[in-house]
Chain A
Amino acid sequence: MQLRTRALETILIEKGYVEQAAIDQLIETYEKKIGPRNGAQVVAKAWVDPKFRQWLFEDGTAAIGSLGFGGRSGNHLVALENTASVHNMVVCTLCSCYPWAVLGLPPLWYKSAPYRSRAVADPRGVLRDFGMELPKDTEIRVWDSTAELRYLVVPMRPAGTEGWSEGKLVELVTRDSMIGTGRPKHPGELP
């Protein structure tokens, strides 16, 4: 595969269809710059700021855009609120649609057959694979990203974080908790 990709890249550059520097920039952006830290900032803000929280659920794109995040796979963002009785989970059964703008590129498991096939049919089984068990009467909402809407789960704020700054809360928000396959860390889990 390495040889074939390298060959095609060389040809496309030689023909002037793509520029080497642009490709490098793209790689750098998604490898280092855009990642779940963006989404964590959104969530942390929603935990401390009730007005932002309300705005976030009313108009995810605008609220998230106000923090400087948006663009590709972030043009139509919907924030999903986890509560004591409702747990949200996001999947793209048909391919791998994912809110790049706030979470970066999706992990391999998100794009693979086991998750894509089971999330919509057996979410509790999938959560168990992640070591997560929800109460029997919690409603599980699975969102299949079949169009251009991209979903960001806003997990519940962990107990014992009263008075924490946004900056400190960000540390608790994991990528998986924003997909819906994990919980945020709790205070005891921080180094």
Chain B
Amino acid sequence: MNGGQDLGGTHGHGPVKPEPNEPVFHDEWEKRACALTLAMSAPGGWNLDMVRFARENRPPREYLSMTYYQIWFAALERMTKERGLVSDDEIEAGHSLYPPKPVRRVLSPGDVAKTLHRGGPTERDTNTKPVFAVGDKVRAKNINPLTHTRLPRYVRGHVGTIERVVGCHVFPDSNAHGGGENPQWLYTVRFDGRELWGADSDATIKVSVDAWEPYLSPTT
């Protein structure tokens, strides 16, 4: 979606302000919000692409004025409520009011290290062949879905070069909305800075994105 999260190339946000000796978490609640999010993905039965969409799917004004973990937590609340795992009145009350729903798996302390170590690889086997090869010129499509996509606006319509054929990976545009993993060939596409930002911009810049095949059209 063309939401507040699609920030590449937007203006007005001011300088980057690193915090010296920044702690990993700035508040106790941030730790809990982070851990809860990680621990709920199995019982919640959702995937990372769904989580990302739940985070970005709000008015840009909200997205831009919330802190990072506030966004995480808002998405966690939304997803647990959507799946009927918790309800608003329970959160208001601060404790469970209704019986739990059966869930497939709960993360135990003993499994934490193993689960983190295993991660969630997204590469999948396929019988198909990639359409593009290294060195091919491609044009990023001008798509504007209301749903989740990982093609940022600042590259849409622009011509780049295939730098790398990454492999066949889970396709977020489907996976975020219950359309299944639908793995597609994934490429790293390199764009000239001037192609993206105009003839007057810095000539020494090149920007790449990782783009799935459905995002790209051949061009000469």
What separation, in Å, do the CA atoms of A113 and B60 have in the docked complex?
A: 9
Decide: B144 and A121 in contact? CB cutoff 8 A.
Answer: yes
- Bound state CA distance, A113 and B59, in angstroms? 9
Cα distance, A141 to B59, chains bound together (Å) = 26
A-B contacts, 4 of them at CB < 8 A, read A113-B59, A113-B60, A113-B61, A121-B144
CA distance A121 to B60 in the complex (A): 17
Q: Which of B35-75 contact A (CB under 8 A)?
A: 59-61
Interface residues of B (CB under 8 A from A): 59-61, 144
Residues of B within 8 Å of A121, CB to CB, are 144
A125 to chain B, nearest CB (A): 10
Question: B59 — which chain A residues lie within 8 A by C-beta?
Answer: 113
* Interfacial chain A residues near B144, Cβ < 8 Å: 121
Q: With a CB–CB cut-off of 8 A, which chain B residues contact A113?
A: 59-61
CB 8 Å contact bits of A147-188 with B (1 = contact, 0 = none): 000000000000000000000000000000000000000000
Chain A residue at minimal CB-CB distance from B59:
A113
Contacts between chains A and B (CB distance < 8 A), count: 4
Size band of the interface chain A makes with B: under 10
User: Whole-angstrom distance between the alpha carbons of A145 and B182 in the complex?
Assistant: 42
| Nearest Cβ on chain B to A58's Cβ, whole angstroms | 36
Q: Which 4 residue pairs are nearest across A and B when measured between Cβ atoms? A: A121-B144, A113-B61, A113-B60, A113-B59
- Nearest opposing residue in chain A for B60, CB measure: A113
Question: What is the chain B residue whose CB lies nearest that of A121?
Answer: B144
Residue of chain A at shortest CB distance from B61: A113
User: In whole angstroms, what is the CA distance A113 to B58 when docked?
Assistant: 13
Q: Cβ of B60: which chain A residues have Cβ within 8 Å of it?
A: 113
A113 to B64, CA, bound (A): 14
* Nearest neighbor of A114 in chain B, beta-carbon distance: B59
A121 to B146, CA, bound (A): 11
* Closest beta carbon of chain A to B12's beta carbon, Å: 13
User: In the complex, what distance in Å separates the CA atom of A9 from the CA atom of B61?
Assistant: 29
Q: In whole angstroms, how far apart are the Cα atoms of A113 and B63 in the complex? A: 14
Q: Which of chain A's residues 110-130 have a Cβ closer than 8 Å to chain B?
A: 113, 121
Give bound CA distance, A113 to B4, whole Å. Answer: 12
A121 to B142: give the CA distance in the assembly, Å.
13
CA distance A70 to B105 in the complex (A): 70
- In angstroms, Cα B143 to Cα A121, docked, is 12
- C-alpha gap A156/B59 in the complex (Å): 36
Closest Cβ–Cβ distance, residue A117 to chain B (whole Å): 8
> Nearest-CB distance from B4 to chain A (Å)?
10
By beta carbon, the residue of chain A nearest B146 is A122
Within the complex, the shortest CB–CB distance from A128 to chain B, in Å, comes to 15
- For B61, the chain A residues whose CB sits under 8 A away are 113
CA distance A121 to B145 in the complex (A): 11
Query: For residues 93 through 114 of chain A, which have their beta carbon under 8 Å from a beta carbon of chain B?
Result: 113
Q: How far is the CB of A100 from chain B (nearest CB, A)?
A: 26
How far apart are A105's CB and chain B's nearest CB, in angstroms? Answer: 23
**Identity of the chain A residue whose Cβ is nearest the Cβ of B144 in the assembled complex:** A121
